[in-house]
Amino acid sequence: MRLSIKHKLFLSILLLIVSFTACSLLFINLYFKSLLKMHFIHMGKDLAGTASSHVTDSVLIEDVVVIQNYFESIMQNNPDVAYIFIEKGGSVLLHTFSNGFPKNLIDVGHAKNAIEHIQVQTEDALYHDFSAPIFKGSAGMLRLGMQSKSVDSLLDTTVKALFAGSFVAILVALLFSIAIANKLAAPLGLLTDSAAMVAKGDYTKPIAAGNDSEVGKLASAFNDMIDAIRVREQELRDTNEQLETYGARMHQYI
């Protein structure tokens, strides 16, 4: 089925708007996700470094009660923190696990004397494991595990909001494309009909120029062309009549 100019314009404008919206949504989603992940990792490193500095004195004097209370306060104020423990030489000095310490958290490849981040998969879940040296590593390493629940929830909410906004934008763009297609297609349709009438020799239906847009200028130029053709045809008819008159007189003379 052959599409009309109106439908072609409508589909072209709609496709352009939908493509732009989809690309924008994909870019914002990827950029926002990357930004949140970087912020989450930076926050985890800062928290692990601050905690290791705070418990240094307590670790050196082996004040377990103060360390335990401090760890509990961190976990209460930071819902994403899943566990905290202190390990030294492959042994766990103190931890916050209520059901026993998972053995696979000891050797995860953290470098010594450095604040690092590594993702650790356990039997229960995926954790972001942060390490920070205590007293330059001589007193052990503080390990802090976090789950990105709040980040995932924020990202999910943001993506849903983006999809909702994109859906509304597409609806608005749909109405806008219909209006634009109608505005452009109407004079073009009149131009097509007028051209067909001119081809049949009918010059009595000029096109309303409407405005100073490109389509309006095209309609005005088409009307000028029709007037010029009409004038030339009239001149040709007058010339033909004169030639016929001369011919008749010549015939009578002969």
Distance of CA 173 to the CA centre of its chain: 16
Task: Provide the pLDDT for residue 151.
Answer: 77
Low-confidence spans in the chain with pLDDT less than 70: 1-7, 9, 181, 184-190, 198-199, 201-216, 254
Q: Record the pTM.
A: 0.61
Task: Provide the pLDDT for residue 205.
Answer: 63
Residue 155 CB contacts under 8 Å (≥ 6 apart), including other chains: 32, 33, 36
Between the alpha carbon of residue 155 and those of residues 26, 64, 115, the distances in Å are 13, 38, 26
